[in-house]
Amino acid sequence: MTATLTIDDLEFEVRRSPRRKTLGITVDRQGELIINAPPECPSAAMEEFVREKRFWIFTKLAEKEILRVEAPRREFVSGEGHPYLGRSYRLLLVDAQDVPLKLERGRFRLLRSEAAQGRAHFISWYSGHARSWLAGRVDRWTGRIGVEPKGLEVRELGFRWGSCGASGTVNFHWATILLPPRIVDYIIVHELAHLQESTHTPEFWLLVERTMPDFGERREWLARHGGRLVAL
């Protein structure tokens, strides 16, 4: 009989092995959760380990969901909804305007002649607006954390929302601009904290918590819901 362990809304298959000295979690290809544990490891220790790894677990589950489910196909037709800063804006195809894509009067407006290149235009628009918007947002948090990044870049980062380079530059995924602002703030605080603590040490998480006491709620929202936006 397979042993299982349920912790909050997560269910794990427990696999014990005399060869294991430490706990480990695996998210298999179908999104099933497995705890690999030493033979005598108590359930309480496994529960504590899972709670420490919740963000990592939800992130991996989001990645598996993206891999299993084809991303919604965008047709770039009038009436289609496109996200921006946590809201959805309808698309309107137009015959003439000064740029291929703009957000005006509550609608995205795309040149009809450019609809076939709609995805590229949206990524370009998101990336450009993310740079200026994120720069202002980063400025709000640097003083609170006591750091000053050397630069800010917006790029394609795969499944990562952000990263902090050894040079002191903070990098953000272009799709960050699709998220609600309060969730973007968590990503910003996370990356700025890495300028003081390069790895996820207890001191790192203490710094994040001092700066943003409700970071856990924002982090979990991001892990549960953010993956689909990256897929777009």
Task: Provide the pLDDT for residue 72.
Answer: 62
Name the residue type at position 209: E
* Residue at which a domain ends, from 36, 52, 68: 52
Percent of the chain with pLDDT over 90: 64
Same domain, 46 and 134: no
Same domain, 136 and 222: yes
* Residues 6+ positions from 137 with CB-CB distance below 8 Å: 181, 184, 185, 188
Same domain, 222 and 128: yes
Residue 105 lies in a domain: no
Residue 231 pLDDT > 60: no
Residue 16 pLDDT > 90: yes
Sheet bearing 87-94, strands edge to edge: 81-84, 87-94, 107-111, 101-104
> How many domains is the chain partitioned into structurally?
2
Residue 82 lies in a domain: no
Task: Provide the pLDDT for residue 66.
Answer: 54
Which CATH number characterizes residue 188's domain?
A: 3.30.2010.10
Q: Token pair for residue 59?
A: 């992130």
Q: What is the pLDDT of residues 59-113, one digit of tens each?
A: 777 766 655 555 567 899 999 999 999 999 999 999 999 999 999 999 999 999 9
Cα→Cα distances 126→108, 120, 133, 204, 225, Å: 12, 10, 10, 30, 19
Residue 83 lies in a domain: no
What is the rounded distance in angstroms from the CA atom of residue 213 to the CA atom of residue 78? 42
Same domain, 127 and 47: no
Residue 65 lies in a domain: no
What is the rounded distance in angstroms from the CA atom of residue 189 to the CA atom of residue 165? 15
Residue 189 lies in a domain: yes
pTM strictly above 0.85: no
Residue 106 lies in a domain: no
Instruction: Name the residue with tokens 């269910």.
Output: 11
Q: How confident is the model at residue 38 (pLDDT cuts 50, 70, 90)?
A: very high
Domain hosting residue 138, numbered range = 123-231
